[in-house]
Homo-oligomer: A and B are copies of this chain.
Amino acid sequence: MPAPDPEFAQRVRQSFDRQAAMRTLGATLESIEPGHVVIGMAHRDELTQQHGFIHAGMLAAALDSACGYAAFSLMPSDAAVLTVEFKVNLLAPARGPRFRFDARVVKPGRTISVVEGRAMQTEADGSDEKLIATMTATVMTVVGRDGLNH
């Protein structure tokens, strides 16, 4: 999957850095390739639900950003990305202590792209990886809409 914009990685990074929600999660961009983005995160008490696991919505936030930017990496330089919908299956309690959110574009499209994301938990050193959630996301390429800059 070639990226039409050679500056795609910088464009993804700049947009990600404007997502205050990712700072609230403590999430960082680990890898940006055309159609494939990885986000990393560590356990934070302020993101938990009643059993002490990371809240499903917080996992969805990291997965949604990973999916959106995987699609965004394949878009032209003047496009913005909007999530149309996503679906999350929760497979195991999100204990951590580390998390990795890996998103790959399954079908890039001029208007609509479909992306699959996987959330894994690992030990602090990245070992002992376990799949804890999956996402399927539909994202839209938006060009020329006021107020949406990347």
Contacts and interface: CB of A to CB of B under 8 A. Distances in A.
B61 A48 contact: no
Interface stretch (A1-9, A30-38, A79-87, A121-129): A79-87
B50 A150 contact: yes
Q: How large is the interface on A (under 10, 10 to 19, 20 to 34, 35 or more residues)?
A: 35 or more
A73 interface: no
B131 A107 contact: yes
Nearest to A109: B91
A138 B49 CA distance: 17
Interface of A: 15-16, 18-21, 23-24, 45-51, 54-65, 80, 82-92, 106-107, 111-112, 114, 116, 131, 134, 136, 138, 140, 147-150
